[in-house]
Structure 1
Amino acid sequence: MTDSGLVTTSSSAGLILSAGTRDRLRRAMPESTRRAYTGDLHRFLTWCAGQALLPTIPPRTDEHLTAGLRQLRTADADVHLVVTEYVNALADAGRAPASIERALAAIAAAHRTATGERLRTDGPRQVLRAYRRDRATTGPGVRVRKAAPVTITALRAMTDALDRSTATGVRDTALLVLGFALGARRSELAALDITDLSFTSEGLQVEIRTAKTDHSSLGRTAALPYGTNPATCPVRTAQAWLSVLAEHNRSTGPLFVRIDRHGRLGRVPTGRGSTDGRLTGQAVALIVARTARTAALDPAAAWSGHSLRRGFATETYRTGADPLRIARAGGWKDGSATLLGYIETVDRWQANPLTGVGL
């Protein structure tokens, strides 16, 4: 073994990647995406076993799933045709197109890792395209439910519904307000540390160290000015939550942490989750949905962690903010199709070409 950790072999492979290299390759993908891909790949190989293409279902570990793909490839099976048939089976089962798209991405990524070759996806994508067209003609009942945007009115209703005499109420207020003001993804909120916040005479600066689309982890700095309403002011709500953390001797570590029913912060010794007690992205989404219900917001709307980010985009654009500034403040790519789609929901009425035409 060399100093670098590489292991030489006498096989044609030449060498085996070190444990440290494999670990960095694994962590290059966001943990939430990796978990989702692992589940997608396991479901695919389970289906393959049900079709007698594999002798058994591989255990749900990266190593066994990768080995299962290699086994499938050496079993005289045309993987491209197998995946095409699998996509069709998912369509027959009524899976959402976005879920099928992710499953296809997971299989393709794993196939590349297992074999060093790209998986042909033209057949699966044609099946998926036909499935999308079929769904589009069956009526609105099957259309994708998009996250409801949290408007300023909705945000005030949500913060008013929280009991800010409790640590949980103070935390959830800060989480909702900062999530909206940053236009943050739920993963970005969960990843914030106390030291990512700094205060100036103008307001609050927040360092977003990395993001879903920030593949180089360049990060961005968000500037949040004082608000006019204390209950929804990013600066004041953040300060209130930091004061609670300070009372519990927390000056470093995760910004948003778990709170149990006894008011204890962080993970208790017998609890689950990360040892530092950091909230997960899923927990952020649950807080948004729970608070929307408490505030008696539209129960038919899809309230989720993404509601804060979408609300930031639509509300700032509604007041006349430049789309480029919105994109850069919220961490969208310049010209983001997703952001333009949010803006379109405002322009549908605000800049309607029929307005004033004389109908």
Structure 2
Amino acid sequence: MQVEVVVHGRKDRVYAALFDRCDRTTRHRLAEAGSSADTLPEILAAARLSPGLELRLSGISLSGNKTDDLVIAHDVPFAARARALAAERIGVAPEDPSLTLALHLSSVPYFLARYRQAHGNTIAQSDASSPLPSPAGQTPGVIVRWFDASLGRAVPQRDGSLETARDSASAYALQAKADNTRKAYRAGVRAWCAWADRHALPCLPARSADIAAFLADERGRGLAPATLELRRAAITYLHRLAGCAVPTADAAIGETMTGIRRSAARDGFTPRRKAAATQDVLATIISAIDLSKLSGMRDRALLLMGFYGAFRRSELASIDIRHVTLLNKGLLVTLPQSKGDRQGKGVEIALPYTHDQYCPVKAYGAWLAVSGIQAGPIFRRVRKESTAASDGNGREIGPQPLTDRSIARIIQSRASAAGLDGNSFGGHSLKRGALTTGMDAGAHPVKLKRLARHATYAALGDYLELGDPFDEHALQQ
């Protein structure tokens, strides 16, 4: 084994500082070979040093800045030991070719380990390779920053090189995850790294026993089993992205999660589904809206379009004027991206005219007329004091779209204003209400599935509110 030798400062001084630490055999070999010999790396690779040297793990570049080197061991007596300690910290085999070790000669010499993840290794271990250096073994703060930077990567400009093509593939693979999924993964990785840091445990690569303890502790804080599964998925994705072995498939973690779910069920915990804003409920909510306010006109259009299109809140937030076409029968909304559209083909949603005051087409037209919006997102932030008479002069209506969380809060606040329990409503209420209304009207399951834009019928059941189990009994006549 050889070790790279890096000299800082005057050779005679740094060699003298190292010479005093070497064992007798090494000093003899150095005296014979001289400081400029090609055999120097081989000689120092076998040297025993007393006192031993500090072992550092090289920092990585993030957003154009290099993170600090991380001291991971002290008093390391020889290069092979330094390499083994670095490999253990990173979670790879000592002979891994991506792990390099250098001996830096200065007034205070030290070992510096560096881990450069090869594209080939990444692709073999992960379904989403990363062109950034792997943060394995780094501090929790560096790992969180690396994860955020990786998820936020844009597709690079094509230059014909293989390296850029691989980087582009990485960026496209990251974009396969929906925005809300990436947001949940970011939160999960931050929570894991913060917990591991408090307990002085390695974040990446992680140990399965530590992850199981983390999930149990999070349940103790009151997190729902579904949230814990998201935490587990985030840790899995972190390891795959970094090219590390995935510890979350370990049986101990699976058993921990099974025990958490069963314990939660014994304690009476059931997943809380948001109330369905059925047609009657929606009419009650809309009747309480003050249409003299810009926010009232916006929210009426938002609620009616959300209901008749069975939109998710993220889909409502993403609707742009160029996505909407007015036809004789109503509105045709084309979504370039949707959760159920795995192939990215885009989906078309029909919003028909209705012959009452709850027509989504008329509400949409009225909102555009008073807001003055001619391009860009349809549903935007409105100042609370703005009235419909102000004609959306630009100061009352912002340029940015509402966030999906803002839409959920609007649904809750409008339900509360109508005298309903606002906390029981949320972003899924409009979709659940639309599908439940269709079911009650006797719509064929094929039509309901098409409206829901679900890949399977199994997912459809989660959105239906079945009502009284006796009245709805299959054998009840």
TM-score range for the pair, normalised by the shorter chain length: 0.7 to 0.9
1:161-199 Cα offsets, whole Å, 9 max, x none, are 111122111100000000011111000000000111111
Q: Which has the higher contact order (CA 8 A, sep 6+)?
A: 1
Gaps of 5+ in 1: 1-8, 55-67
Q: Report deviation, 1:116.
A: 4.8
Q: Partner amino acid for 2:215? A: V
Between the aligned partners of 2:274 and 2:404, the Cα distance in structure 1 is 15
Partner of 1:355: 476
Check whether the contact 1:194–1:251 (CA below 8 A) recurs between aligned residues.
yes
- Give the alignment of 1:1-359 within 5 angstroms: 13=118, 17=131, 20=156, 21=168, 23-54=171-202, 69=204, 73=205, 79-121=207-249, 122-139=251-268, 142-230=269-357, 232-246=358-372, 250-263=373-386, 276-298=399-421, 302-335=424-457, 337-343=458-464, 345-346=466-467, 348-349=469-470, 351-356=472-477
Check whether the contact 1:258–1:266 (CA below 8 A) recurs between aligned residues.
no
Between the aligned partners of 2:255 and 2:337, the Cα distance in structure 1 is 34
Between the aligned partners of 1:240 and 1:291, the Cα distance in structure 2 is 19
Between the aligned partners of 1:345 and 1:190, the Cα distance in structure 2 is 28
Between the aligned partners of 1:268 and 1:85, the Cα distance in structure 2 is 51
Q: Report deviation, 1:312.
A: 0.8
- Would the alpha carbon gap of residues 165 and 267 (structure 1) be closer, same or farther in structure 2, given more than 3 Å must change? closer
TM-score by length of 1: 0.80
Q: Report deviation, 1:203.
A: 1.3
Check whether the contact 1:174–1:238 (CA below 8 A) recurs between aligned residues.
yes
**Aligned residues between the structures:** 316
Structural RMSD (CA): 2.8
Partner of 1:3: none
Q: Partner amino acid for 2:462? A: G
* 1:353 alignment partner, SS class: coil
Between the aligned partners of 1:83 and 1:254, the Cα distance in structure 2 is 41
Between the aligned partners of 2:437 and 2:264, the Cα distance in structure 1 is 31
Which is further off, 146-155 or 345-354? Answer: 345-354
Q: Report deviation, 1:42.
A: 1.1
Question: Which one has the bigger helix percentage?
Answer: 1
Identity between Structure 1 and Structure 2 (%): 30
Check whether the contact 1:207–1:220 (CA below 8 A) recurs between aligned residues.
yes
Between the aligned partners of 1:320 and 1:203, the Cα distance in structure 2 is 22
Q: Report deviation, 1:206.
A: 1.0
Q: Partner amino acid for 2:473? A: N
Q: Report deviation, 1:260.
A: 1.6
Bigger Rg over Cα: 2
Partner of 2:41: none
Between the aligned partners of 2:263 and 2:233, the Cα distance in structure 1 is 22
Between the aligned partners of 2:353 and 2:414, the Cα distance in structure 1 is 23
Q: Partner amino acid for 1:323? A: P
- Would the alpha carbon gap of residues 342 and 12 (structure 1) be closer, same or farther in structure 2, given more than 3 Å must change? closer
Gaps of 5+ in 2: 1-97, 101-115, 121-129, 133-153, 157-167
* 1:277 alignment partner, SS class: strand
1:312-337 Cα offsets, whole Å, 9 max, x none, are 111111101111211112211132x2
Check whether the contact 1:80–1:120 (CA below 8 A) recurs between aligned residues.
yes
Between the aligned partners of 2:213 and 2:117, the Cα distance in structure 1 is 34
Q: Partner amino acid for 1:132? A: R
Partner of 1:63: none
- Would the alpha carbon gap of residues 349 and 236 (structure 1) be closer, same or farther in structure 2, given more than 3 Å must change? farther
Q: Partner amino acid for 1:190? A: A
Between the aligned partners of 1:169 and 1:41, the Cα distance in structure 2 is 39
Question: Which one has the bigger strand percentage?
Answer: 2
1:114-143 Cα offsets, whole Å, 9 max, x none, are 12544442322221111111121223xx32
- Would the alpha carbon gap of residues 12 and 289 (structure 1) be closer, same or farther in structure 2, given more than 3 Å must change? closer
Q: Report deviation, 1:347.
A: 8.3
